[in-house]
Structure 1
Amino acid sequence: MAVRVFHRDEPDLMMPIISSDARLIVWPGVGAEVANMNYVVLEPGEQNVPHIHAESEDTIFIIEGKGSVRDLTNGARLEFEAGDAVHVPAGVEHAVCADRDSRIVSVGGPCPPDRHLLRLLGVE
């Protein structure tokens, strides 16, 4: 295995269940064993479908914008802005929301990769 470079505009897989512009950049389908990195854009008013990563921790770094993350397991809503990192423990139902009049751009994703999510996308 050698070092590789991937570009945001040439995603290997799109993830419409996360957002209308969610791109899976690094994942097992391109040779990663435990790494996973998504590039996600949420337009104002858009949010993820609430979901759980049963066996993965989800880390989301906010590059642009401000919004909130809903922790549905614990009944909380936390606001974030550019420069913040959101950490979601395994098994916590959550949704990222562009609910503060701002477009959100983020990178991150569940690690290890969420095999259930990959199956929902028709791959693995």
Structure 2
Amino acid sequence: MTDRQGERIAPHEIGRMGEKMARLQLMKEGRRILYKNFRGPKGGEVDIVARDGEVLTFVEVKTRRRREGSRPLDAVTPAKQELIERGARAWLYMLKETDFLWRFDVVEVTLEEGKKPEVNVVKDFF
């Protein structure tokens, strides 16, 4: 993947681009972004914490270049899910009131050179 000047984009920059696209898509769908890149004090991480109406959502973003046979969602392994769950527990621990609905979502961002990025929101993934 290259930028407009033909320079190769570093993998961490591709990830940042994907997270920005994910936030924009979530806001377009009416979500309110509360926090990005949350890290729990004892480990755990959540890319985006957002409100979807009355539901608190913990969102993982996976950005990949177009490859046959694989999709970004495939990278949300059980080990990755545990890391996200640990981050979500840390977020919930900070709240005084937790009598509300919450869920885990994933946003897939697929990039292909010369094409418009594909952004897919998967609600209640795990």
**TM-score, normalised with respect to structure 1:** 0.23
Which of 1 and 2 has higher RCO (CA within 8 Å, sep 6+)? Answer: 1
Q: Which has the larger helix fraction?
A: 2
Q: Which has the larger strand fraction?
A: 1
**TM-score, normalised with respect to structure 2:** 0.23
